[in-house]
Structure 1
Amino acid sequence: MAPADEPPEPAGHGVRGHVLLAADRFKGSLSAAAVTRHLAVGLRRVRPGLPVVEMPVPASGDGLAEAAVAAGWRRVPVEVRGPTGRPVTASLAVERDTAVVDLGEACGPRLLPDGRPRPLTASSFGAGQLLGHAVRGGARRIVLGLGASAAPDGGAGLVQGLGGRLLDPLGRELPPGGAALRNLHALDLRGLPDLARTELIVAGTAAGPLLGRSGVPAAGTDAGSGGRDGVRLLDAGLRRWADLAEAAARRTARDLPGAGAGGGAGFAALALLGAAVRPGPVFLLDLLGFAERARGARLVITGEGALDTRTLRGRTPAGVARSAARAGTPVVAVTGRRGLTGEQLRRSRIQAVYALADIEKDVERSMRRAGPLLEQLTVAIADEWLPLASL
């Protein structure tokens, strides 16, 4: 445990209340939901009967529907096309007239049948089907979580899944994938649903542009087949797609923040669907009802894979700590490794940090065993912030 330069006696001692778990993912190891789940397992083991509330906060957009369900939203399963065309069962989350649609549910990398990337042919078609289901269900506000995608097709498949048609010079429907977009000749968008009365919000990391050195072609093919030739094919296809989509929409979107999110699905949402971008955790905390759950809590546990200066620039732990401070609730953080001074922690309103590196020095083993190690960390957290005498 690393204190924020001698933290005050933990508030919440002697107060009957729950512990709120509001963490982001440990990138490369655990999703936000998995982080909170392991923390809950550990706390329930060392403090049986302690009320624990799990509220994962996936600021990257990955696992957003799962996080909404954990926060009490209704799960709605829908059968859609996966990234390679095989049917998969995806879920969206619904609360009153708001729906959360998670791109990863329909075309995330975990849905690749054999785990092998197919960057040139994978499609986001299923994400469009999922989005269309939310529209037909009467949602007036749709939050589109754009995390990792197995389909770097610029959202072309998403538009097709919604009812748009992408045609070659002979008027035939294009095959799936970003490489096929090189032959795109015309867009027929008459089949798209009317979104005039629907607020569409893109949530997740404010990714870079659609094209360029930090764009989708380079990122989308770095782990896949094709090498430099694949990058060139994908770049040519996405440029053609951007030219025709922007001409049809009469707006430029390829360079907007968020355009490259979700394999470029952000571009399609911004250019053709009238979406607005709400990056970072603040919007998600409001969406998931964090403030209400923080009131009356004896402790909030947040965290992410690396707690460093980037955390202070608006990542989940900083947003959670600021919001919890307004509710008068103390906050501690878990992380893989720490990189903040005591003064930085104090200014961020985080009272203490517990790192996996404290109990496992080997980085590879720490990432591989992140779940059990998080459960071990809860022993120290419980001893210092949840003494048995106060329960």
Structure 2
Amino acid sequence: MKKIVVAPDSFKGSMTSREICDIVEGVVKEEAPQIAVVKVPIADGGEGTVDAFLTSAGGKKVFVEVTGPCFERTRAFYGILPDEKTAVIEMAAASGLPLVRGKKDPSVTTTYGTGELIKNALERGCSRIIIGIGGSATNDGGIGMAAALGVKFLDERGNDVELTGRGLERLHKIDTRGLDPRLKEAEVIVACDVDNPLHGPEGAAYVYAPQKGADEEMVRYLDSNLKHYSDVLKNHLDFDVQSVKGAGAAGGLGAGLVAFAGGKLKPGIDVILEAVRFEEIISDADLIITGEGRIDGQSLRGKAPVGVAKRAAKKGIPVLVLAGDVDDSAEKLYEYGITSILSINRSIIPLDRAIARSKDSLKHTVRAVIRLLANPTQNRIPLLKRNYHG
């Protein structure tokens, strides 16, 4: 074995994808220094997306003061890749749930700051914008974002509506004449790992608003407002947003980006793997290590392990998946080119303790794997002598 590619998503609440990469690399250097390790931290469009791109592709981070989800000023950031034309934005940096600081109420939060990040990137000359829309605190259908870029959202009297999920109730007219013209020349790619519609039982409010602080009554109210928003979009822009898979992502920001920025919704894992030329990176790899915090049936819906495994399968490269928790339904993942799935937890302990010791648990698990794989003759494992490159 000469080369291992490490391409994990984060273990939410315990380790970032970059930390996981560094831990695996450290263990390999200790146990088998002859093996080269290539690190490709992965993100699905939420927190860590910018860092994942900058680590894998290079570039710089730009810090900007913007409007936070509760209309307070906050310091956010985005990345610019080495071509100086591609910006990578994670909406969570400007409109994410951690920024509400315990004041959870998705009816009064806004995506305005996300629009300010897009505008800043355009002002810096970026013509290709990749935006990850995971981790939102919002349910405004993206009207805050669009307003920051020049769109007006008006009530029956021609007054501006509140740029929140609550404000959608009064929406009567949309005026796009002031929309930043640079968007027409820009390519906007939306990294999104869900396919929920804007409204309805599987829509933004019913599925995600409870995580943001909404009770049952508020969920129904927000869903009704998103339905009204959908009707206004259809009447004024002739745009049937409800037919767009993923429109309900990030409280409807997916819908807003498609309607006003010409955004193209793509699975987050595909966006980042294409951007870093993953198939080139793994062309001579002997093993790929990937993973995420929990592996279950939902991992089939555009998550990192399956996205990585699909590409590895084309080249016959074995894939090891590491996770904090492995559900019984994870067995389905073996059909997608995954070779083995392991939990890093070595004993049954409460979640808070498992998170606290996650880094040590990962080290122990990786050490056991590398000691096994790095000494195939000693351990008498014929499988490891296979030629995975045909």
Residue 22 and residue 153 in structure 1: after superposition, are their counterparts in 2 closer, same or farther (change >3 A)?
Answer: same
In the alignment, structure 1 residue 168 sits paired with structure 2 residue 155: yes
Partner of 1:320: 308
TM-score normalized by the length of structure 2: 0.84
Among residues 39, 43, 49, which one is paired with 1:64 in the alignment?
Answer: 49
Could you tell me how far apart the structure 1 residues matched to 2:20 and 2:11 are?
7
Which amino acid letter does the alignment assign opposite residue 117 of structure 1?
K
Contact 1:61-1:205 at 8 Å conserved across structures:
no
Query: Any idea what SS the aligned residue of 1:77 has?
Result: strand
Q: Deviations over 1:154-175 (max 9, x none)?
A: 1111111212222233433223
Contact 1:83-1:108 at 8 Å conserved across structures:
yes
Among residues 102, 105, 119, which one is paired with 2:106 in the alignment?
Answer: 119
Could you tell me how far apart the structure 1 residues matched to 2:255 and 2:18 are?
27
Partner of 2:130: 143
Residue 234 and residue 41 in structure 1: after superposition, are their counterparts in 2 closer, same or farther (change >3 A)?
Answer: farther
Residue 227 and residue 286 in structure 1: after superposition, are their counterparts in 2 closer, same or farther (change >3 A)?
Answer: same
Contact 1:258-1:266 at 8 Å conserved across structures:
yes
Among residues 21, 32, 35, which one is paired with 1:36 in the alignment?
Answer: 21
Residue 124 and residue 232 in structure 1: after superposition, are their counterparts in 2 closer, same or farther (change >3 A)?
Answer: same
Contact 2:194-2:302 at 8 Å conserved across structures:
no
Which amino acid letter does the alignment assign opposite residue 150 of structure 2?
G
Could you tell me how far apart the structure 2 residues matched to 1:288 and 1:70 are?
10
Q: Which 4+ residue blocks in structure 1 deviate beyond 6 angstroms? A: 340-346
Could you tell me how far apart the structure 1 residues matched to 2:210 and 2:298 are?
24
TM-score normalized by the length of structure 1: 0.83
For the aligned residue pairs, the C-alpha RMSD in angstroms reads 3.1
Partner of 2:340: 352
Could you tell me how far apart the structure 2 residues matched to 1:73 and 1:110 are?
27
Partner of 1:91: 77
Query: Any idea what SS the aligned residue of 1:218 has?
Result: helix
Task: State the Cα distance separating 1:131 from its structure 2 match.
Answer: 1.3
Contact 1:179-1:236 at 8 Å conserved across structures:
no
Of 265-274 and 363-372, deviating more is 363-372
Q: Which runs of 5+ in 1 are unaligned?
A: 1-11
Residue 295 and residue 89 in structure 1: after superposition, are their counterparts in 2 closer, same or farther (change >3 A)?
Answer: farther
Contact 2:43-2:268 at 8 Å conserved across structures:
no
In the alignment, structure 1 residue 21 sits paired with structure 2 residue 6: yes
In the alignment, structure 1 residue 80 sits paired with structure 2 residue 62: no
Contact 1:252-1:271 at 8 Å conserved across structures:
no
| Superposition map of 1:1-391 within 5 A | 12=1, 15=2, 17=3, 19-27=4-12, 29-40=14-25, 42-43=27-28, 51-74=36-59, 75-95=61-81, 96=83, 97-112=85-100, 114-194=101-181, 195-225=183-213, 227-311=215-299, 315-326=303-314, 329-338=317-326, 348-357=336-345, 359-362=346-349, 364=351, 365-386=353-374
The share of aligned pairs that are identical, in percent, is: 30
Task: State the Cα distance separating 1:338 from its structure 2 match.
Answer: 3.6
Q: Deviations over 1:60-107 (max 9, x none)?
A: 544321211111332222221111122222222222222222111111
Task: State the Cα distance separating 1:228 from its structure 2 match.
Answer: 3.1
Task: State the Cα distance separating 1:25 from its structure 2 match.
Answer: 3.1
Contact 2:105-2:214 at 8 Å conserved across structures:
no
Contact 1:202-1:278 at 8 Å conserved across structures:
yes
